[in-house]
Amino acid sequence: MTTTLFTTPRDLLRYAVTRFNGAKLFFGHGSAEALDEAAYLILHTLKLPLDKLDPFLDARLLPDEVVQVLAVIERRATERVPAAYITNEAWLGTYAFYVDERVIVPRSFIAELVPQQFSPWVADPYAVDNVLELCTGSGCLAIMMADAFPNAVVDAVDISADALAVAEMNIRGYSLEGRVNPIQSDLYQNVPFKKYDMIITNPPYVNSDSMSKLPVEYLKEPQIALDGGSDGMDLVRKIVAGAAERLTPDGILMVEIGNEREYAEAAFGHLGLTWLTTSAGDDMVFLLTAEQLQHI
């Protein structure tokens, strides 16, 4: 390709959108469409502010800058890796996290609820002492929880040593050593036995039928972090079953299950699930109290 055809970010943006649409890429890791993803990748590669495209659209680029951006566009279109693996960056709300192929790209509806400190379910955020996050991956939710609940210690659990290595990088990046504790464990197995005010989890919940239909971009992620078994509830059942003995009398369990409400209701509906409101509706995250969990 003749790089001299491209002299400005506007040129590259137009080309990237056409290239991405032509390649029929899937956008499910933060961007909603080709234009958003192209703008993000161009701005990140050029080390420009991610929220200020317009002032730079017609700026003249150096030849080596054009080459760098074209290489990123081509990798996204050809290899179909999520953009976050190219930039080693993912955002949840206002929080940026380091990510690579050792973890799934952070995306969570629980993250939308953290800034409100789970009101009205948590009466006093400053009284929260201990939080357990299962299936932490990159550590993103654990870090957000430590920020939202300033007196809490957060135990961040994952079965994957690779994932925890990424989580540790993010914990250091937010200077939360000692407040967010990474623990390698198969769910509760190696977790210190103490009572938690909250257990939160965004576990693998994709059912087998949906796993067989995942787009290429999702297949680039660690499948252990996605596959929830035949009905998506394999790990969720274990999490729910073990929660009661780990919670304080007033504690709560919050579980993200994506599009699997039907299966969650079939498995746990008898407990009286409370469905929390998120940007995607009222069927992505359910809550159970310690009292409800006593009836398992």
Q: How confident is the model at residue 94 (pLDDT cuts 50, 70, 90)?
A: very high
Region 257-284: mean pLDDT is 94
Region 30-55: mean pLDDT is 95
What is the signed CA dihedral for 202, 174, 169, 145, rounded to 10 degrees? -20
Q: 223: which residues sit within 8 A by CB, 6+ positions away? A: 211
Neighbours of 135 (CB within 10 A): 24
Number of H helices, E strands in the chain: 12, 9
Model confidence pLDDT, tens digit, residues 69-92: 999 999 999 999 999 999 999 999
Look at residue 170 in the predicted model and tell me its pLDDT.
98
Q: CA-CA distance, 276 to 128, in Å (whole number)?
A: 20
pTM above 0.85, yes or no: yes
Domains in the chain: ranges and CATH: 3-87 (1.10.8), 101-293 (3.40.50.150)
- pLDDT at residue 1 greater than cutoff 80: no
Q: CA-CA distance, 106 to 94, in Å (whole number)?
A: 13
**Angle formed at CA 234 by CA 232 and CA 238, multiple of 5 degrees:** 135
Q: How confident is the model at residue 281 (pLDDT cuts 50, 70, 90)?
A: confident
Q: How confident is the model at residue 30 (pLDDT cuts 50, 70, 90)?
A: confident
CA-nearest of 149, 155, 153, 154 to 127 is 149
Model confidence pLDDT, tens digit, residues 192-249: 989 999 999 999 999 999 999 999 999 999 999 999 999 999 999 999 999 999 999 9
